[in-house]
Amino acid sequence: MNKKKHIFTFFLSVIFFTYWLFPAGESSATTLKDIPPQYETELNYLISKGIITGYPGGEFRPNQPVTRAQAATMVGRALELDGTNRQTPFTDVALGYFASGYITSAYEKGIILGDGKGNFRPEGQLTRLEMAYIIVRAFNLNDVSSVNYVDMPANAEQSAAINKVTTAGITNGAPGNLFKPNNSITRVEFSLMLARALNDDFKVNKEPKETDKSEQPKVPQQPEQSTPSTAVTKVVTASFLNVRSGPGTNYNVVTVLKNGTEVQVTGKTGNWYSINLNGKIAYVSANYIADKPVQKEPVQNEPPAQNKPPVQNGNERIIAVDAGHGDHDPGAVGNGLEEKDITLDVAKRLERYLTNGGYKVIMTRSDDTFVELDDRVKFAEDNGADIFISIHVNSFDKTSANGTETYYYNGGSKTTESKQLATFMQTRLVEALETRDRGVKTAGYRVIKANPRPATLVELAFISNSSDAEKLGSETYRDKAAYALYLGVQDYYKWLDK
């Protein structure tokens, strides 16, 4: 393409996009020429919240495909994320790009991912399957039912995402019992799914799916429960949490609470907490409620500073990243996963983040090879590494064991530094993976005991536990783990430089 023509086309697309996302004044769906009449209510709802608007000339263009950057911006606005332009984790999204703030915020929340090579492809068209993933992550959807489209993907993770958005009443597919996962999603399709995710009044197939569809599901009577004289303050950990009239998903949703909202827990029925909601008893899933955290220093989710390479005593800082096990040594095995594959994937992702952040990275292994423990330490020594990070996953005979723990060696010349490094890693990992905090511990593992530099060994989660293993097998959580480790490195050097 001619360079001048390419530049003109780019700026024209930016102008059109700006009109869609940034209204010049009040507008409504009824003022746009090409709004499908049957969707006026949903689109007016999104416009009233400032999430969408029209193009110049009063058009909505319902059948135009949505780009990945547009999706990140709309979801970011819907969730009230920080849209301030800033450096992103992706090499193809510049600081001044219009969606850089929402892309970074959505990435840090685990809502969107890159291509595994450090790119986001912001101008790429979004598919219906990708949108399903985004909605599931953004709104923390977990319920599944007997959903089976004709073109349901064979991949279990992909079919689960489609199942969850269907079960939640956010989509009912296309005519012919199709989902069309690889089709580009249009503006009207995207808008409808987002409106339904935000407002239960717009949802389709609201009732839980039953094997026997001849009878509507019956809502059980709400159990009687006495309210204790004292209530315990807890907080919501999900992005959005449904509050129901009874302890189960077959009860009506009465309201929705946002992440961080404090609730007064008055009791528990099964896996459901009863809470005091404006003087009345309501129920929330105990899976997304946690103890109120002790006040601590705010987390600093700083993006990579590509143009300012970190230095130590005038020299470039070198990070040794060690992916545990390899080749004939698979490490721990469980739930269809092998430790060596997980550690290598996370290590490569961490390498990209550290490199983009200006650090020099050396990898003890970059493919499925076996490296002796002492050779890993020697490799770091020979290449002048400043710190050493060994990545592993845990396993135990009892499948109930779960959570994240991090180790350092108590007895070397760098004990204080190693402990601080391990502490920063543990804090970031638990926060990112939402796993049980098993704490920072000491051990004599060879790669940290024999290391003359600050060294830590992280156990991301338990491969033997089904819930932990689901995260270890997920690209989303592997990437979140890598980014958390990157942030831990940043935390460590901030502490060291004080």
Q: Are residues 282 and 317 in the same domain?
A: no
Closest residue by Cα to residue 359 from 309, 308, 421, 305: 309
Specify whether the CB–CB gap between 233 and 292 falls below 8 A: yes
> How far is 284 from 261, CA to CA, in rounded Å?
12
**What does the chain come to in residues?**
498
Residues 383 and 249 in one domain: no
59 is catalytic: no
- Estimate the share of the chain in helix, then strand, then coil, as percent rounded to the nearest 5: 35, 20, 45
Per the domain annotation, does 72 fall within a domain? yes
Q: What is the pLDDT of residues 401-439, one digit of tens each?
A: 999 999 999 988 899 999 999 999 999 999 999 999 999
Rounded to whole angstroms, what are the CA distances from 409 to 265, 414, 439? 41, 9, 14
Q: Does a structural domain hold residue 219?
A: no
Residues 478 and 358 in one domain: yes
Query: Is residue 349 domain-shared with residue 459, that is, in the same domain?
Result: yes
- Tell me, yes or no, whether 153 and 35 share the same domain: yes
Q: What is the pLDDT of residues 268-307, one digit of tens each?
A: 777 678 888 888 888 887 767 877 654 434 333 444 444 4
CATH number at residue 422: 3.40.630.40
User: 47 with 162, same domain?
Assistant: yes
The percent of residues in the chain predicted with pLDDT above 90, rounded, is: 36
209 located within any domain: no
Range of 278's domain?
232-291
222 inside domain:
no
Q: Name the percent of the chain lying above pLDDT 70.
A: 80
Based on the structure, what is the number of domains in the chain? Answer: 3
Distance CA(391)–CA(463), nearest Å, equals 13
Q: Is residue 326 part of a domain?
A: yes
Q: Is the dihedral of CA 205, 209, 215, 221 positive or negative?
A: negative
Question: Of 189, 351, 405, 459, which is the active-site residue?
Answer: 459
pLDDT in tens, 77-118: 889 899 899 998 899 999 888 889 999 999 988 888 887 788
- Lowest mean pLDDT, pick from 169-183, 339-353, 417-431, 456-470: 169-183
Residue 71 domain flag: yes
With respect to residue 488, please indicate whether it lies within any of the assigned structural domains: yes
Is 155 among the domain residues? yes
Q: How many whole angstroms separate alpha carbon 473 and alpha carbon 464?
A: 12
- CA 213 to chain CA mean position, Å: 35
Residue 436: its pLDDT value, please? 93
Q: What is the model's pLDDT at position 424?
A: 95
Do residues 185 and 244 both lie within one domain? no
Q: Do 20 and 55 belong to one domain?
A: yes
Q: What is the CATH number of the domain that holds 286?
A: 2.30.30.40
142 and 274 in a single domain? The answer is no
Q: Are residues 274 and 420 in the same domain?
A: no
